[in-house]
A and B are shown apart, each in its own frame.
Chain A
Amino acid sequence: MILLLAIVVGSLYAGGLYMIMRRVLIKLIIGLALLAHASNLLIFTASGLIRGRAALVPAGGSLDFRQVADPLPQALALTAIVIGFGVLAFALALVQRTYQVVGSDDLDQIRSTDT
Chain B
Amino acid sequence: MLHQVRLALPILIPLFTAVFCLLGWRSLRLQRAAGVAGSFLLLAAGLELLRSVSQDGIQVLHIAGWPARYGIVLVADLFSAMMVVLAGVLGAAISVYSVGDLNARHEIFGYHPLSHVMLMGVCGAFLTGDIFNLYVWFEVTLIASFVLLALGGTRGQIEGALKYVTLNLAASSLFLTAAGLLYSAAGTLNLAALAEALRGPDTPAGLATVLSMLLLVAFGTKAALFPLFFWLPASYHTPPVPVSALFAGLLTKVGVYALIRVFTLLFVTETAFTHNLLLVLAGLTMVTGVLGAVTQNEIRRILAFHSVSQVGYMIMGLGLLTPLALAGSVFFMVHHSIVKSNLFLVGGIAQRLGGSFELKRLGGLYSAYPALAMLFLVPALSLAGLPPFGGFFAKLVLIKAGLEAENFWIVGVSLMVSIVTLLSMTKIWAEAFWKPRPEGRAPGRGGVSSRLWIPAALLAVMTVVMGGASQGFFDLSLRAAEQLTDPSSYVRAVQGSEP
Contact = CB atoms under 8 A, between A and B. Distances in A.
A22 B377 CA distance: 45
A94 B173 contact: no
A90 B169 CA distance: 12
Given A35-B173, A115-B295, 4 more contacts: A16-B173, A43-B177, A72-B183, A94-B165
Given A32-B166, A97-B153, A113 B235 contact: yes
A55 interface: no
Chief secondary structure at chain B's binding surface: helix
Contact of B162 (A35, A73, A95): A95
Given A47-B180, A90-B143, A101-B158, A79 B150 contact: no
Nearest to B70: A72
Contacts, number: 107
A32 B180 contact: no
Interface in B160-189: 160-163, 165-166, 169-170, 172-174, 176-177, 179-181, 183-184, 189
A32 B172 CA distance: 10
B23 to A, nearest CB: 21
Contacts of B174: 39
Interface residues of A, number: 36
B195 interface: no
Nearest to A35: B173
A115 B292 contact: yes
A7 interface: no
Interface of A: 16, 20, 28, 32, 35-36, 38-40, 42-43, 46-48, 72-73, 76, 79-80, 83, 86-87, 90-91, 94-95, 97-98, 101-102, 110-115
A96 B8 CA distance: 38
A111 B159 contact: yes
A39 B176 contact: yes
B26 interface: no
10 contacts: A32-B170, A43-B183, A47-B180, A79-B132, A86-B143, A87-B143, A87-B169, A90-B146, A94-B161, A115-B296
